[in-house]
Amino acid sequence: MKGSNTIGGYSDILIGPHSIAFDITNKCNLRCLHCYNSSGENIVVNNELTDQEVLNFIDDISKFKLYRFSFCGGETMLRKELLIECTKRLKAKGTHIVSMVSNGILIAQETAKELKEAGIDSIKISIDGSSSCTHDKLRNQTGSFEKTISGIKNLLEAGFNPNFAFTPTSFNSHEIKEVHKLLIALGVRKGTLGTQPLMFLGRAYRNLEEIKASNLQYRKLIKDIAEINSTDTTLKVTWGDPIEHLIRFRTISKHCVDHCTIQANGNIVISPYLPLVIGNIRKYSIYEYWNSGLPGVWNFNIPKEMAKSVLSISDMNKESNNMPKVFEEESLYIDLIDDDLNDMDCIEKNLNVI
């Protein structure tokens, strides 16, 4: 590794990451107005890892004996058979928790059973309204609400306790209480209903004027969340900050990050919200990247400086220094093994290449 730092601390004793998030695909059966990575139409979908490459990756990381492996997307169910085979291999090698996200549309009764039998431990389903009026509008497809509700019912019947994601917008943020009531009525008895600010990337950014919630709407939402959690502990509503990790990783956690994110084309990214790729599992194995300093990558100048430009959601897509747009243009590729992540000139060199 060029420009290597002496990382020290806990990263020296970690043999591998505790958790990995992997986009098994960026293809999607929806075109949601708020999608931060423009699933189904971004630059990744035409260069995704083949089934065999994915299986090789799964076998390779099994030596880490992960605590958690998360299948993300895109719509994960578009590669259902591959996901199921990967899950079986992960569980056989000792991965403690295998989770996945989905819009729920393709989770038929038999599919839910297959996921349970394969060893999936946790599933997060997106639900963005208490009726088809709001959910279908954000999901940009008529009938998606009914199919998602059907998927939730199938998961519950199969023995899952799903978690849920709710994206607040200008036309649905007032429905958080009704969404919570709906899920309880369906039989949800544990888990979380997570929500966070809209991320100003991808289709969300292109549709910002139509879907962005106002500050007043956000304040009302936070009040509603507090009221729900004060009266009901069955399904906890959580509020997240998508920017928090960009601040934490470059400051108090920079010496050791035990999480790794792999995109559908094999790219290794330090954050899905920054246009920086630091390696690709087609080039070197994840094991080689880990041993070359991946857990301490936030000690290097380039990641830290790029993250400094994003301090709020409104900074996520701002144009600065001709940086490429995440998921819409090719990200900067500065390889952890072959390049020097301390050399700020690498940014300019890569921009010139693009």
Beta carbons of 69 and 101 less than 8 angstroms apart: no
Pairwise CA distance, residues 311 & 244, whole Å:
9
Residue located via tokens 């559908």: 264
Domain co-membership, 272 together with 209: no
The answer to whether residue 33 sits within a structural domain is yes
Could you read off the pLDDT of 120-165 as tens digits, one per residue? Answer: 999 999 999 999 999 999 999 999 999 999 999 999 999 999 999 9
Pairwise CA distance, residues 306 & 327, whole Å:
16
Q: What is the pLDDT at residue 63?
A: 80
**Diameter over CA atoms, the chain:** 57
Could you read off the pLDDT of 37-80 as tens digits, one per residue? Answer: 999 999 898 899 999 999 999 999 988 889 999 999 999 999 99
Adjacency order of strands within the sheet including 97-102: 236-239, 192-195, 163-166, 122-126, 97-102, 68-72, 19-23, 259-262, 267-269, 276-280, 332-333
Pairwise CA distance, residues 135 & 127, whole Å:
7
Q: What is the pLDDT at residue 217?
A: 98
The answer to whether residue 11 sits within a structural domain is no
Lookup: tokens for 97: 């928790």
**DSSP 8-state code for residue 10:** G
The answer to whether residue 6 sits within a structural domain is no
Q: What is the pLDDT at residue 7?
A: 47
Pairwise CA distance, residues 62 & 87, whole Å:
11
Beta carbons of 100 and 75 less than 8 angstroms apart: no
3-state secondary structure 171-196: CCHHHHHHHHHHHHHHCCCCCEEEEC
- Identify the CATH number of the domain in which residue 160 sits: 3.20.20.70
Domain co-membership, 183 together with 265: no
Could you read off the pLDDT of 6-32 as tens digits, one per residue? Answer: 444 555 667 789 999 999 999 999 999
Could you read off the pLDDT of 300-338 as tens digits, one per residue? Answer: 999 999 999 898 988 888 766 578 888 888 899 999 999
Could you read off the pLDDT of 188-197 as tens digits, one per residue? Answer: 989 999 999 9
Q: What is the pLDDT at residue 323?
A: 83
Inform me whether the pLDDT recorded for 4 exceeds 90: no
Could you read off the pLDDT of 104-129 as tens digits, one per residue? Answer: 999 999 999 999 999 999 999 999 99
Q: What is the pLDDT at residue 245?
A: 92
Q: Of the residues 200, 216, 240, which one is the last residue of a structural domain?
A: 240
What interhelical angle do 132-139 and 144-157 show, nearest 10?
100
Domain co-membership, 22 together with 157: yes
Strands (E), 92-159: 97-102, 122-126
Among 54, 70, 82, residue whose Cα is nearest residue 20: 70
Of 53-62, 176-185, 215-224, 246-255, the range with the lowest mean pLDDT is 246-255
Domain co-membership, 218 together with 282: no
Pairwise CA distance, residues 20 & 31, whole Å:
26
Specify the length of the chain in residues. 354
Beta carbons of 337 and 289 less than 8 angstroms apart: yes
| Sign of the torsion formed by the C-alpha atoms of 324, 325, 329 and 335 | positive
Domain co-membership, 196 together with 287: no
| Host domain of residue 264 | 245-353
267-269 and 259-262 strand pairing:
antiparallel
Q: What is the pLDDT at residue 346?
A: 87
Residue located via tokens 């879907």: 211
Work out the average pLDDT over 202-217: 96
Q: How far apart are the first and last CA of the chain?
A: 23
Q: Of the residues 192, 213, 240, which one is the last residue of a structural domain?
A: 240
Residues 6+ away with beta carbon under 8 Å from 46: none
Q: What is the pLDDT at residue 352?
A: 60
